[in-house]
Chains A and B, each alone.
Chain A
């Protein structure tokens, strides 16, 4: 009984890790890009854990680490809707699970 509970807890922990995603916004700098993305995330019950941004050769690069555990939307839906938000604002928005970056850059 104890072990099965432990396994369930471990499983949940693993799923939690799977629920963190990285959103990247790349494009020409313009007013209100962050606001638009944040509004969308708030409406979708997605919590922002970290934001950083940089400007490289006039291109606006932003990265957000977000927590997907409270949202009711499917991952595919998020990807599509964020892409649409990006198209409206004239930037490219991608949403990817965090694991791909962790795997590639951390031993």
Chain B
């Protein structure tokens, strides 16, 4: 088995897939705790559906670089969904659900009407569940992914304490002179970038798993914000690596394998948490 693995690793596309997979897993785990606690667990699904919709529009328009449309549209939706907060007419989960299914339906319809490929259902399936496109990355896409990942991690580290303050107690933060709105905006933008990045890896439907599973697992065992954050980052990377290797060796679909590994990890962490007598809420 090791032999087969080493054999595969000789191919650049396998190495690219591993690098991109690890980076995306790292980024997506960072904001998990914040999103879970703000009751935005499903934001990943909502935004990735928007990204899916935007991508079909880009395909129909025959744009050479889809990202120039997908990224701004997703960022805009993230800002609208996350910063609307309490004051909006449509609150949290309802707004996310509406945007999510709306964009999904719209995108699928566009794909049907303006179909450019002969195998429509395979196209749709790969956008929804992640595709083998992670194994067909070009060096340009890999570089783009590295740049965006570095930006996301840097932004997260620089704003770490502010993200904590705004998540833990928005009223207090705002009242004592922190610009909570601006930092909610920062969170929204980071989330959007992560989602667009992660779509390649696991597809629109499974993306929430990548965002929330590591955070939920880490919260079972760890009890401070810092340790939960670090643990979920490490766990997410480990699960992504394991998932990628299994799918390469076993020929299983990449996205769902990674999510399955995450689910197993969650089970193990829950068990550890219970044995340690920790809190079993989340």
Is this pair of chains taken from one and the same complex? no
Residues on B close to A: CB < 8 A? Answer: none
Residues on A close to B: CB < 8 A? Answer: none
